[in-house]
Amino acid sequence: MKVAVQCESPLLQRSLELFLEGHLSSLKQCDVVIRDKKIIDSYHSLYISENADSDVKKPFSRSQLFLALENFYKKLEGMENIQDYEEEVEDSQTKDFSLLESRIEQLTDEYKKNLLNTIKAFYE
| pLDDT tens readout for residues 34-91 | 888 887 766 678 888 888 888 888 888 888 888 888 888 887 776 655 566 666 666 6
* Spatial separation of the C-alpha atoms in residues 32 and 53, rounded to whole Å: 18
Is 73 found in the same domain as 98? no
Is 99 found in the same domain as 60? no
pLDDT of residue 101: 82
Is 56 found in the same domain as 38? yes
Report the predicted TM-score, pTM, of the whole model to 2 decimal places: 0.58
Is 69 found in the same domain as 91? no
pLDDT of residue 1: 76
Which domain covers residue 27, as residue numbers?
Answer: 3-78
User: How many domains are contained in the chain?
Assistant: 2
Is 15 found in the same domain as 71? yes
CATH of the domain at 23: 3.40.50.2300
